[in-house]
Amino acid sequence: MNIFVRGFRRLFGGNATHVEKGEQQSEPDIYTQGAAAQVSEDTALQLSAMWACTRLISEVFAGLPLTMKEKNSGSGEKLSNHPTLLVLNDSPNSRQTPVEFRETMQLNLNMHGNAYARIEYNRRGDLIALWPLPAQQMQTQLLDDGSVVHNFYHGSDVTVYADSSILHIRLFGNGIVGLSPLAYARNTIGLATAVENHSSKFFVHGGKPSGVLYTDAALNETQRKKARETFSEVVTQKEESKRLLVLPLGFKYQATEVNPADMQILESKHFSLRDICRFFGNVPPVLIGETQDSTTLGSSIEQILIGWYRLGLNPYATRWEQALAKKLLKPAERRRYEYHVDFDALTRGDSKTEMEYLKGMVGGPIMTPNEARTRKNLPPVPGGDKLNPSPTEGKKASDNEVTDNA
């Protein structure tokens, strides 16, 4: 890329929506300012808010049932025996359970905006395994002919995969790679890390602020050394942090470090926590243990979960469903089937509300008694596969009422 093009991009745009042949970037082209502390995957996850947000999204999403259903059938029947589901829901690979596989993929998606898995087929062309590949070791490249390849760097070697061999789930971006939340949240994460570091150093030194000793008298080198040793003995001894500091005659002490209260350390921590939650799709702070402020999604846990599902988790589900269909299903199957992430377990209300809901659904008639029993993990009963009342019975009853009135 020549200097003119790079300068033009920095002035009017960047990597977020830019598409150009070659390596695709998921990070900002430039930063508005330097981070207050070093930011990496490891340092970021040492922040409780980062750990809690990524863990919450990964674990909750990985635990949701993944099914398939037939498009435009009207039956709403879920499939459980499709060959790809046997891999996704039984054994994605020889090392991971289904939950572990989806957690790994979702963690990469949360942190780096992209999740990659190598697709393995047998000789007959049947899917037999999905192997997650770390997003930070992948480099997606757009070739001259418009095709996409993925370079996997491991040690001093690189393996090039065709796009058809990689399951790629991505966040919003330029359409080829997703934008990295870790990279774009660098300043926010760096500020939160700097606040944590300052707090730790302050208390490591017994809560004593740094400062200077000064006097109007002229001191020689020996006197300055003696004064420094006497003062340092007090401020560096943690076990004797309550010793009385007696300054020599004519000496004064001036603190040069702002105390945590004046720096508003607690307020900064709360702000950083909420800011991190925003970068992760508006995770309600109350769901990661922050109860200082009320959430804007509702006052009850049920309302909070429903709001988070609609605004936070549902976009992830759509990306997973469509990426799985695009890469794992043949064109004819894509026209017939679709994957479905089931959020019913997450959005159900309390027991009383759930029973009233099922009663209304069964008597609707919208749901059969056996469908309602399945929802409550109960075995089916004879005759429970019939709607009550059935649509035909309801129609006959209406016709009879009209005849009687006539």
- Please state, for a pLDDT cut of 90, what percent of the chain lies above it: 36
Q: Model confidence at 405, in pLDDT bands (50, 70, 90)?
A: low
Average pLDDT over residues 102-123: 96
Tell me which of 338 and 246 has the higher pLDDT. Answer: 338
366 vs 217: which has the higher pLDDT:
366
25: tokens are: 């970037």
Instruction: Give the span between the Cα atoms of 88 and 129, in whole angstroms.
Output: 8
Residue 88 has pLDDT above 90, yes or no: yes
Angstrom distances, CA of residue 252 to CA of 135, 143, 352: 56, 69, 71
Distance CA 260, CA 257 (A): 9
* From 59-63, 69-73, 218-222, 326-330, the region with the lowest mean pLDDT: 218-222
- Identify the pLDDT of residue 394: 47
* DSSP assigned state of 335: H
Which 8-state DSSP code applies to residue 242?
T
Greater model confidence, 100 or 298: 100
- CA distances to 93, 168, 269, 371 from 153, rounded to whole Å, are 21, 16, 37, 49
For residue 21, the model assigns a pLDDT of 84
Going by C-beta distance under 8 Å and a sequence separation of 6 or more, which residues neighbour residue 201? none
Spatial distance between the Cα atoms of 210 and 206, rounded to a whole number of angstroms: 11
Of residues 98 and 243, the one with the higher pLDDT is 98
Residues 194-198, mean pLDDT to the nearest whole number = 76
How many CB atoms are located within 10 Å of the residue 311 CB? 14
Note the pLDDT of residue 304.
Answer: 79
Lowest mean pLDDT among 22-26, 78-82, 173-177, 183-187: 78-82
**Pairing status of strand 148-154 against strand 138-142:** antiparallel
Give the integer Cα–Cα distance in Å for 247 and 327: 75
Mean pLDDT within 160-187: 94
pLDDT at 270 > cutoff 50: yes
Decide: helix, strand or coil at residue 91: coil
Per-residue confidence (pLDDT) for residue 255, from 0 to 100: 59
Judged against a pLDDT cut of 80, whether residue 177 lies above it is answered with yes
What is the mean pLDDT of the segment spanning 162-177?
95
- Residue 23's pLDDT band (boundaries 50, 70, 90)? confident
79: three-class secondary structure by DSSP = strand
Q: Quick one: average pLDDT of 54-65?
A: 94
Percent of the chain with pLDDT over 70: 70
The answer to whether the CB of 321 falls within 8 A of the CB of 341 is yes
Whole-number pLDDT of residue 3: 52
Residue 62 has pLDDT above 90, yes or no: yes
The pLDDT of residue 318 is above 60: yes
Asked if 94 and 130 touch (Cβ cutoff 8 Å), the reply is no
Higher pLDDT residue, 42 or 398? 42
For the sheet with 337-341, list strands across it.
Answer: 78-79, 66-70, 337-341
Q: Residue 239 — pLDDT band, cuts 50, 70, 90?
A: low
Cα–Cα–Cα angle for 268, 274, 280, rounded to 5 degrees: 135
